[in-house]
Structure 1
Amino acid sequence: MKSAKSAVLSAIRKMGPGIVTGASDDDPSGIATYSQAGAAYGLNTLWTGILAFPLMSAIQKMCAKIGLVTNQGLTGTLKKHYPRPVLYLMLLFSFPAIVMNIGADIAGMGAVGNLLFPQIEASFFSVFFTIVLLALIIYLPYHKIASILKYLCIVMLVYFVVPFLYKQDLSEILQATFVPKIEWNEEFLAILVGILGTTISPYLFFWQASVEVEEMNARQKKVFVNKKIINEINLDVDFGMTISGFVMYFIILTTGTVLFKGGIHQITTVEEAAQALRPLAGDMAYLLFAIGIIGTGLIAIPVLSGSLSYIFAETFGWEQGLDKKFHEARGFYTVIAISLLLGLSLNYIGITPIQALIYTAILYGITAPILIAMILHISNNKSIMGRFVNSKALNIMGFLALFIMSASAISLVYFYFKN
């Protein structure tokens, strides 16, 4: 038993940033989106897990490679090779989108904390989680933060257990997984857009590139990029995105069987999803689902705030890096602090978590196709990437992601203004 435990801990320590990136993709706001899909349409969106995985994996691999080859984040590369107005436009859309995403996650964590401990108000939990996260991000060096986030990823395993606390029909699950079903109405298409916007999120593009640079700096020696390192990074990204895809899959499976079949078709928040599971699937399913929401929030919020801070620091040439102390990178950490505090304040200025989710989806939907197009251009530019330009297979997946996200963005804007 002891050797098995040591092997698991050793494996976690050796994991790269891919697992954290993947886990942060399934943040509380993402869980809310998947829960809405499962409750409203049962297992009819289960197949999206298979569709989303290769697309998000391809884009994250490109971003990781850009960070490795250029030794700078995505923003720094865009700043160097694209007109400044394009960069400022990305900043204009990214700031409110990420802040509202943080706000929705903090509110979700607070609400779930209140579910677990009803005697304590949700607002207290929201403030508590914000202070804890802010203190950890500012005072801990990067390798400590990375280690904590990797260990927190263990909490994602709870979503692999929850569906099996309820009787499942294997043949129905297999059919829904491999035979896509699409309902040609605006509500169903809007859910599909929401799922894609949640899984292929622009903030992850910036985080992946910048955190690869952090990883190289943390090794404290010069790293010469070669095919072996690229392959290792690709495997790391694939592993992280696989975990993310499975979590998405199992959340839709849980809510699509338990809630949908239980007659609960309207879920707007993560706490509603957790609470609805309790009478239908039992206390254990409810408890594990709720704990998972808090755990994923603790993983995602540092990634969200960190990605925003990397964007600002590289745009304006500030000192940056989670490996630096506060006095060495004041601007970098100030952006993190402001983003967390603004996110916390959303509920106090009348923006509800569900409104924040809608606004975030719209802003992400608009920026994602533009960013994917730029990432593809950079990844195929020999003057930037040298011999590490994209393979044909990676380009196929990348352009497919560009097409699908562009169609999603157009649909999202259309549905929003139509309603």
Structure 2
Amino acid sequence: MSARPESADRTSATLDTAHTGDIVGALGTIRTHEDGRRKSVWQRLRALLVIMGPGLIVMVGDNDAGGVATYTQAGQNYGMALLWTLALLVPVLYVNQEMVVRLGAVTGVGHAKLIFNRFGKFWGAFSVGDLFVVNALTIVTEFIGVDYALSYFGLPTWVSVPLAAVLLFAVVAGGSFRRWERFLFCLVALNVLIFPMALMAHPKPGVIAAGLVPQFPGGLNSTLLLLIVAIVGTTVAPWQLFFQQSNVVDKRITPRWIRYERADLWIGIVVVMLGAIALMSVTAFGLGGTEAAGQFTDAGAVADALREHAGPGVGGLFAILLLDASLIGANAVGLATTYTLGDVLGKRHSLHWKPSQAPMFYVAYAALIGFAAAVVLIPGAPLGLITQGVQALAGVLLPAASVFLVLLCNDKAVLGPWVNSTRQNIVSGAIVWALVLLSLSLTAATLFPDLSTEALQTFFLVGGVIGVLGGLLIAVSRNTAARRAAARTACELGGLDTDQVADLQDERRSLAEQDRMSWRTPALETLSRPVMSPLRRAGLLTLRVYLVVAVVLVVVKVVQLALG
């Protein structure tokens, strides 16, 4: 990596002068000298409106072209029977994204920079290499969505795709974070159309509620597992980790505003879940009982089928929403990639810079968008299968991204008083393990297509027991350490009465909270790198080998589907 760019403060980890200063959002400004204390409801609401953005955009970007295709595929082929997967993903979304919020606000640098600095170039390349490949393919799916959406209204591919590429670059290259965020907010606002669209398909609340019960329609096989992994991959994609952390940094959010960014994240999660349910229900009820039921091919065919069976209004709204989702997704995924490239190369990477001030950032974005658009223009490309395959790849690669995330959030040199608590580690560990089990099950079902539903259920049960035992072991070790620390404190305060001890502990808690609000990561080059134990190194190497195998098998499964 190249040398550290100019920074406003050489004692902090912040890389770029554009990442320090006032918080300039779409809906207002918060000055650098302002603290996070807000007394009135209006003051708190105003602060939330200014801070709001990274969480909302990353979540709505989650319902991108691939998301629209995956959710409508689930509804068209299985009705509302897979709705339970979305409910289980809510805690996954919050836990993963909340960790990157803390990393971004406390460190002031992007996710890739932290991985390279704390784990070295080998593991950094491991993490970022996968991201670049999957992100490039994901942007291809966004242009596939643009093509399908505008084809519905009669616009040919050779016009719609280049036009969208030019628009996306023009929005990013304005050299103004505020203008970019306002444009994204306008696109986000269009998502309100998803609710009348779903209502026009006449959904049945009882059927929707029944979908919250875990079930495997048709039995647990590799085809169903591929779709479940695709739902996970499109709902909790690796690019989201890199985008939100870098966007928090680019918006200049610091620890004193973390609680507002957490609220922003929750708003985004609610929006994305309601949207996903609406997309699943529009095909489940709009196409249920017709010859199109169970015959998903791609999002373009969904729009045509909805026009035929649910009416032109539903089909038209679906095409508009598909276009909107594609533009948001391409913008966010493209920025996640170029933010990461700036981290890796040590170059300016901020929407506050104009193209002449950060040429690498904008040239890379243009090249990425241009590549994805060119792929979609290739005649005869299997666009529907590319979309499903990319979402499944994202689901398979997510455990590796989550492992590095948890390791960084336990790095006290990086996060200081903001490191994960024992509870957070147990929850995040359970999530990572569940993702690994899901990925392993897809691998097993692809290798051994005759595996029965009972065998796969047994696999999940045994894996769950192993996960619970591992969590209990972590909890016991952490509690033991906490008791030892409490014993040392009791010895230090042995000469004080109960009230004095309580007062002293309250004072320490108050000072600790003040320290949390002002604590920022020191310059990364001043920190000693954590020691990589043999066990951790072996675990990461095993994960790397497995991911290579799993990715190959996903490709094999997609090819099998293509060949019928």
Q: Is 2:335 aligned against 1:300?
A: no
Per the TM alignment, residue 167 of structure 1 is displaced from its structure 2 partner at its CA by: 2.5
User: What's the counterpart of residue 311 of structure 1?
Assistant: 340
User: For the residues of structure 1 that align with 2:346 and 2:199, how far apart are their CA atoms?
Assistant: 50
- Contact 1:67/1:213 (<8 A) preserved: yes
1:317-340 CA-to-partner distances (Å, cap 9, x unmatched) read 111111111121111111111110
* Counterpart pick for 2:70 among 33, 40, 65: 33
Per the TM alignment, residue 89 of structure 1 is displaced from its structure 2 partner at its CA by: 2.1
User: For the residues of structure 2 that align with 1:314 and 1:261, how far apart are their CA atoms?
Assistant: 51
Q: Is 2:411 aligned against 1:381?
A: yes
User: What's the counterpart of residue 60 of structure 2?
Assistant: 23
Paired letter, 2:160: F
User: For the residues of structure 2 that align with 1:316 and 1:372, how far apart are their CA atoms?
Assistant: 23
User: For the residues of structure 2 that align with 1:347 and 1:287, how far apart are their CA atoms?
Assistant: 22
Q: 1:268 to 1:401 in 2, by over 3 A?
A: farther
Q: Is 2:234 aligned against 1:198?
A: yes
The alignment partner of 2:53 has SS state of: coil
Q: 1:31 to 1:253 in 2, by over 3 A?
A: same
User: What's the counterpart of residue 351 of structure 2?
Assistant: 322
* Counterpart pick for 1:270 among 299, 317, 333: 299
Equivalent positions of 1:117-128 (< 5 A) are 118=154, 120-128=155-163
The alignment partner of 1:267 has SS state of: coil
The alignment partner of 2:291 has SS state of: coil
The alignment partner of 2:203 has SS state of: coil
Paired letter, 1:210: S
Q: Is 2:368 aligned against 1:368?
A: no
* Counterpart pick for 1:211 among 244, 247, 255: 247
Equivalent positions of 1:382-401 (< 5 A) are 382-401=412-431
The alignment partner of 1:326 has SS state of: coil
Paired letter, 2:439: A
Per the TM alignment, residue 230 of structure 1 is displaced from its structure 2 partner at its CA by: 2.3
User: What's the counterpart of residue 282 of structure 2?
Assistant: 254
After TM superposition, the score normalised by the length of structure 2 is: 0.68
The alignment partner of 1:192 has SS state of: helix
Paired letter, 1:51: L
1:281-311 CA-to-partner distances (Å, cap 9, x unmatched) read 2222111111111111221111111000011
The alignment partner of 1:261 has SS state of: coil
- Contact 1:56/1:200 (<8 A) preserved: yes
User: For the residues of structure 2 that align with 1:296 and 1:166, how far apart are their CA atoms?
Assistant: 20
The alignment partner of 1:43 has SS state of: coil
- Contact 2:112/2:128 (<8 A) preserved: no
Q: Is 2:206 aligned against 1:171?
A: yes
* Counterpart pick for 2:96 among 34, 50, 59: 59
- Contact 2:69/2:299 (<8 A) preserved: yes
Q: 1:100 to 1:71 in 2, by over 3 A?
A: same
Q: 1:43 to 1:246 in 2, by over 3 A?
A: same
User: For the residues of structure 2 that align with 1:411 and 1:321, how far apart are their CA atoms?
Assistant: 40
- Contact 1:110/1:122 (<8 A) preserved: yes
User: What's the counterpart of residue 214 of structure 2?
Assistant: 180
1:18-48 CA-to-partner distances (Å, cap 9, x unmatched) read 1111110000111101111111111101112
User: For the residues of structure 2 that align with 1:392 and 1:137, how far apart are their CA atoms?
Assistant: 40
- Contact 1:98/1:308 (<8 A) preserved: yes
Task: State how many pairs are aligned.
Answer: 401
Paired letter, 1:374: F
Per the TM alignment, residue 358 of structure 1 is displaced from its structure 2 partner at its CA by: 4.2
- Contact 2:227/2:392 (<8 A) preserved: no
Q: 1:299 to 1:208 in 2, by over 3 A?
A: same
Unaligned runs of 5+ residues in structure 2 are 1-41, 447-553
1:137-188 CA-to-partner distances (Å, cap 9, x unmatched) read 11241111011101211111222222211223222221212x1212322222
User: What's the counterpart of residue 178 of structure 2?
Assistant: 143
Unaligned runs of 5+ residues in structure 1 are 1-6, 218-222
Tell me which protein shows more helix as a share of its residues.
1
- Contact 1:362/1:413 (<8 A) preserved: no
Q: 1:344 to 1:70 in 2, by over 3 A?
A: same
Paired letter, 1:310: Y
- Contact 1:16/1:236 (<8 A) preserved: yes
User: What's the counterpart of residue 220 of structure 1?
Assistant: none
- Which structure carries more relative contact order (alpha carbon 8 Å, separation 6+)? 1
User: What's the counterpart of residue 3 of structure 1?
Assistant: none
Q: 1:31 to 1:371 in 2, by over 3 A?
A: same
Q: Percent identity?
A: 23
Q: Is 2:251 aligned against 1:232?
A: no
User: For the residues of structure 1 that align with 2:354 and 2:92, how far apart are their CA atoms?
Assistant: 36
The alignment partner of 1:325 has SS state of: coil
Per the TM alignment, residue 107 of structure 1 is displaced from its structure 2 partner at its CA by: 2.0
The alignment partner of 1:278 has SS state of: helix
- Contact 1:74/1:206 (<8 A) preserved: yes
1:184-223 CA-to-partner distances (Å, cap 9, x unmatched) read 2222222111100111101110001000001117xxxxx4
Larger-gyration structure (1/2): 2
- Contact 1:278/1:286 (<8 A) preserved: yes
User: For the residues of structure 1 that align with 2:297 and 2:54, how far apart are their CA atoms?
Assistant: 31
1:91-146 CA-to-partner distances (Å, cap 9, x unmatched) read 32222211111111112212211212x2x312311111111111111124111101
Paired letter, 1:198: T
User: For the residues of structure 1 that align with 2:50 and 2:189, how far apart are their CA atoms?
Assistant: 12
- Contact 2:89/2:232 (<8 A) preserved: yes
